[in-house]
Structure 1
Amino acid sequence: MPVSITLLLIAATCVVSLIAFRNPRLIGRLILWPPAIDRHRQYDRLLTYGFLHANFWHLLFNMVTLFFFGRYIEQLMTRLTGSGLTYLGFYLAALVVSVLPTYLKHQKDPNYTCLGASGAVSAVLFAFVLLNPWARILVFVIPMPAIVFAVLYVGYSIWMDRRGGDNVNHGAHLAGAAFGMLFMVAMEPDILGHFLRELSQPRWG
C-alpha cells in the first residue's frame, strides 16, 4: 500500500511545530523573517515557515483541514499524473507562492515574521472546491456547500487583509486559494468545464 504524502506532511508539520513550541531558537531559524532571506539568502525559510505554528489550536485547525481534503486531492493528482510527487510539489509550491506577496511587501521590514501552513492548506481546500463545489463541508460544526464557504472565506479574507490588526496573514490565504485553483486547471484544463457544469446544477441537500 503506497504511503500517503498527506499523512507524511501532517506528521512532519506536527513534529516540527511541537518541537518548536519549546525551542525558540528553532523558530528563529525556520520562521519567515524577510531580512534573513533578503540579506543572508536563507531561501529555505520560504518553505520552512509552513512547518511552524503559533500554538496548538493553529496547528490542529490546519492539520485537520489538510487531513480531510488533502487525501482527496492527493489521490486525484496521483490518478491524473501517475505520481504522488505531483501532489507533494503542489503543496510545497503552494507554501512558497502563497507567501511571496507578503514577503515582497515586507522585504525590508525587520519587524515582520510569518509562520503556518494556512496558505498551502487554502490551496488544497480550494482545489477541492473547484472539483466539488456543492459538497457539504462543516465550518465550525455548521454544514454548508463548499462553494458558499469559498465565497464567504474570500470575502472575509479580503476584508480582514485590508483592515489588518489581527496578526493573521489573510493575503497568504487568498494567494494560496488562487494558486490551488489555477494549478488544478493548468494540470487538467477540463476541470474548469467540470466546475462550471457543477455550478449550474446546485445541490443544497
Structure 2
Amino acid sequence: MENFYAFPATMVLIAINVLVSIAGWLNPQFLVSNLFHVAPIREKREYHRLITSGFLHGGVFHLLINMFVLFQFGRFIEYELGTPRFLIVYFAALLGGNLWALMENFRSPDYRALGASGATSGIILSFCLFQPFAMLIFFIIPMPAVVFAVLFIGISVFLAQRENRVIGHEAHIGGAVAGLIATIAVAPYSLSVFSQQISAFLSGG
C-alpha cells in the first residue's frame, strides 16, 4: 500500500495493463478490436488503437517484462516529476511510439502490434536524463544509463529494418524520442540536470 500512495499513477497503470491484458487473453475479439493494426487505423480511422494497444500484451512473459520496467523506472519519474507530469510523459511516449510505428508501416496494412514497450521506452529515456550514470543492465552487461540510451536507440533503429521481425522496434524508437521530448517539455530543468552531470564527469568531478 505504501507504493500505491507514494506512486499512484505507476501502480494504477500497472493494474490497468494487467486487467486489460487478461481481458484480451480471455476474449480474443476484444484483443483483435483493440490491438495496433494498420489497416483499420488507416482505413476505418480506429484511432483508439493507438492507445488501447499499449495496454494489451501477447503473453504473461511479455506483460511481466513491461510491468517490471514500469515499476522500476516509473516510480522514479513519478517521484521526480509528480503524478500529472509523469502521466503526460507516459502517454506521450505511448502515443509517440505507435505513431512512429504507423508511419513506418503505413503501407503494410497487415502490420499488427501490442504492448506497453513504447511507453516504457520513453520512461527509461526520461530516467536517463536525470540519472545518466546510474548503472543499467543491457543484455546482462552493466553500463551507465547514458550509454544504455544510445545503444538502445541505435540497436532499435537497426533491428527495425529487419524483415519478419516479431518485436515492434519502431514503437521503441518513437516512444523513446517522445519520452525525451515530453520530459524536457514538462521539466525543462532536466536538461540542466543532465548537462551538469555530464560536465562533472568530463571534468573529473
Q: What TM-score bracket applies, with the shorter chain setting the length? A: 0.7 to 0.9
Which residues in structure 2 correspond to 1:84-163 (within 5 Å)? 84-139=83-138, 142-163=141-162
**1:26-46 CA-partner distances (Å, limit 9, x unpaired):** 111110112222232221111
Q: Distance in 2 between matches of 1:141 and 1:105?
A: 30
Deviates more, 1:111-120 or 1:85-94: 85-94
**Match for 1:76 among 70, 80, 103?**
80
1:29 maps to 2:33:
yes
Amino acid at match of 1:92: F
> Any conservation in 1 of the 2:7–2:79 contact (CA below 8 Å)?
no
> Any conservation in 2 of the 1:35–1:108 contact (CA below 8 Å)?
no
Name the residue aligned to 1:11.
15
- How far residue 3 of structure 1 moved from its aligned partner, in angstroms, is 6.1
CA distance 1:105–1:121, shift in 2 (3 Å): same
Which residues in structure 2 correspond to 1:157-196 (within 5 Å)? 157-196=156-195
TM-score of the superposition, structure 1-length normalised?
A: 0.88
RMSD: 1.9
Q: Distance in 2 between matches of 1:88 and 1:190?
A: 18
Q: Distance in 1 between matches of 2:32 and 2:181?
A: 32
- How far residue 70 of structure 1 moved from its aligned partner, in angstroms, is 0.3
Q: Give aligned-pair identity as a percent.
A: 37
Amino acid at match of 1:46: L
TM-score of the superposition, structure 2-length normalised?
A: 0.88
**1:43-94 CA-partner distances (Å, limit 9, x unpaired):** 111100001111111111111000010011112221xxxxx23322321222
1:62 maps to 2:74:
no
Gaps of 5+ in 1: 79-83
Name the residue aligned to 1:81.
none
Name the residue aligned to 1:49.
53
Deviates more, 1:134-143 or 1:42-51: 134-143
Q: Distance in 1 between matches of 2:148 and 2:194?
A: 15
Amino acid at match of 1:71: R
Q: Distance in 2 between matches of 1:190 and 1:178?
A: 18
Secondary structure in 2 aligned to 1:39? helix
Amino acid at match of 2:23: I
- How far residue 23 of structure 1 moved from its aligned partner, in angstroms, is 2.1
CA distance 1:3–1:154, shift in 2 (3 Å): closer
Provide the aligned length of Structure 1 versus Structure 2: 198
- How far residue 109 of structure 1 moved from its aligned partner, in angstroms, is 3.3
Q: Distance in 2 between matches of 1:2 and 1:149?
A: 27
Q: Distance in 2 between matches of 1:64 and 1:195?
A: 25
> Any conservation in 2 of the 1:13–1:52 contact (CA below 8 Å)?
yes
Gaps of 5+ in 2: none
Secondary structure in 2 aligned to 1:200? helix
Q: Distance in 1 between matches of 2:45 and 2:151?
A: 37
CA distance 1:156–1:126, shift in 2 (3 Å): same
